[in-house]
Amino acid sequence: MNKLLIALSLAATVALVGCNKDKAPETGATTGEHLENAATQAGEDVKNATADAANATATAVDNAADSAVQAADNAAAHAENAAAHATDAAKNATAATAAAVEQGAADVKEKAQQ
């Protein structure tokens, strides 16, 4: 965008200088040629700026896709870890329940023998 503004400013300056009929342009080019060159340069600048913007957009999309994949991988790893902890907790709870039942049965048997 800055290049476009510079090119347009240059074109306006050339047009204003070209309006001075007392002197010929230093390059020997007519005002029309200067304007045509400025317009050509502005077109090239716009084309380059568009290509740069397209490349930046493609890079941003690639980075976003990579980040999404990493987030999905992290979420899957955390879910797997949580499942492993849940399994361990269920095993521990089952073992504690079985131990309590066995202790209760032992207490009942001991009282029955007295």
- pLDDT exceeds 90 at position 10: no
Tell me the average pLDDT across 6-35.
Answer: 64
User: What confidence category does residue 75 fall into, taking pLDDT thresholds of 50, 70 and 90?
Assistant: very high
Classify burial at 47, counting beta carbons within 10 Å of its beta carbon; exposed 0-12, middle 13-18, buried 19 or more.
Answer: exposed
Neighbours of 25 (CB within 10 A): 14
Enumerate the domain spans of the chain: 2-113
What's the confidence (pLDDT) of residue 19? Answer: 55
Mean pLDDT taken over the chain: 82
Model confidence pTM above 0.85: no
pLDDT top residue among 86 and 18: 86
